Amino acid sequence: MRILLVGEYSNLHNSLKAGLLANGHEVTLISTGDAFKKLPSDVLIKAKRIEGSRLLQTLRKGIFELTKFDLATLEIGYRVLDWLVDQTRFDVIQLINEYPFKTPYFIEKRIVKRLRQLTTKLVILACGDDYIYLNNIDKLAHHPILQHPDIDFPYSEKYLTATHKKYHEFVFELKDLVISTDLDYHPIYKGRTDYYGLIPNPVNLNNFSRNQPEKQNRIVIFHGVNRSNYYKKGNYYFDSALCIIRKKFSDRIKIICVTSLPYAQYLESYRKADIILDQTYAEDQGYNALEAMAQGKVVFTGAGASFCERYQVAPNSVAIHTIPDAKKIAQDLEELILNPQRIAEIGTRAKRFVQEHHNHLEVAEHYVSAWNSIKNDDAVSASSEAQKSDTKNSKPAE
């Protein structure tokens, strides 16, 4: 199959690509690298002209301060459209999210139309914020918007606007299938006719096959923060819990805290850690958590009741289920510090769990099965509608 993967937030699409390539498919990944994370991509879209000009950067900052509009998204949109004009057909095109490039809506619509024209199978992942997910957060045990009504979450709240709703309806009219990536999305999408189901995140196990560093005298606790997601991921609770633990066990632990590191540097920064503090609002593991678990780390993340039921594992046996409660987090950390053999036991089970359920080679085949479930008649019809709605395929003017 000839496959185009659109967008990247966490290394999910890169890992899926590795699995698909190993299984004999032809794959291209196009993305922006997701800002500071600098995630790899075959086609890396950057606002080179704006970022390379001091004058345009000054103008960009000024416009953003006044309007919250990022001028760079215009250039990114132009460059995506410019690349798409010359592309030939793909058997499958998959979007990492319903809004993969975050360009102005009129540009993003043109991008999605063009993608629709290039394939008979257009798939969207329920991954990251989207309209349906954020309109159903009352079905979740915890969510930062509910937990912190006094705090603004402008990035997430954008998905709840009337403008985004219109865009969402436009995209979902064109797509063929939705696939969720973990148990935070599955119960919200379950029952929809266009929903295939949950396919666990693929983890490229080849990236974590090297020997792990020798154990150190102190237990190493790692806390990585994406500054823009500080409250969204629950980092506040981790910081509060670490204050409690630091006072009680300063002679037994070493704490590493980092902020907004590029992806490759982030991986290296926690290589010597025993415990990873990931997030407090999830029911299932996100991508960073899974990659840490693949290395035998004990991760504080989502591993709740639905997770234990689906995978038939005991509570806190492969990861420590974490809720927005600093005292509870501190208690769980204390138990591990006082019983260090549990760190080794959980880490071993975590690594085995990822190998059994998230192997990128096997997960890639699950994706192929999902794509093959799309009825060509419906897909061709949607593709034809996109062709009719946008017959102008010339490149944007220079």
Q: Which residues contact 195 (CB under 8 A, 6 or more apart)?
A: 177, 178, 179, 180, 189
Q: pLDDT (tens digit, 0 to 9) for every residue of the chain, 398 residues total?
A: 999 999 999 999 999 999 999 999 999 999 999 988 999 999 999 999 999 999 999 999 999 999 989 999 999 999 999 999 999 999 999 999 999 999 999 999 999 999 999 999 999 999 989 999 999 988 888 888 888 888 888 889 999 999 999 999 999 999 999 999 999 999 999 999 999 999 999 999 999 876 666 777 899 999 999 988 899 999 999 999 999 999 999 999 999 999 999 999 999 999 999 999 999 999 999 999 999 999 999 999 999 999 999 999 999 999 999 999 999 999 999 999 999 999 999 999 999 999 999 999 999 999 999 999 998 765 555 555 666 555 444 444 33
Which pair of tokens denotes residue 383?
């593709």
Name the DSSP letter for residue 289.
Answer: H
Q: State which CATH number among 3.40.50, 1.10.287, 1.25.40, 3.40.1350 fits the domain covering 2-202+359-389.
A: 3.40.50
Q: Distance between CA 264 and CA 105 in Å, rounded?
A: 31
Q: Does this chain's domain 2-202+359-389 share its CATH topology with 210-357?
A: yes
Instruction: Tell me if 266 sits within 8 A of 253, measured CB to CB.
Output: no
Which pair of tokens denotes residue 190?
């379950």
26 φ, ψ (degrees, to nearest 5): -100, 125
Sign of CA pseudo-dihedral 354, 94, 183, 281: positive
CA 72 remoteness from chain centre = 22
Q: Distance between CA 85 and CA 107 in Å, rounded?
A: 14
pTM for the whole structure: 0.92
What CATH class does 210-357 carry?
A: alpha beta
Sign of CA pseudo-dihedral 396, 33, 175, 229: negative
Confidence at residue 386, expressed as pLDDT on a 0 to 100 scale: 63
Confidence at residue 165, expressed as pLDDT on a 0 to 100 scale: 98
Q: What one-character-per-residue DSSP string does 89-132 give? A: -BSEEEESSSSSS---HHHHHHHHHHHHHTBS-EEEEE-SS-HH
Sign of CA pseudo-dihedral 175, 178, 181, 184: positive
SS3 250: coil
Domain parsing of the chain, residue ranges:
2-202+359-389, 210-357
Q: Distance between CA 277 and CA 115 in Å, rounded?
A: 38
Identify the helix (H) or strand (E) that includes residue 253.
strand 253-259
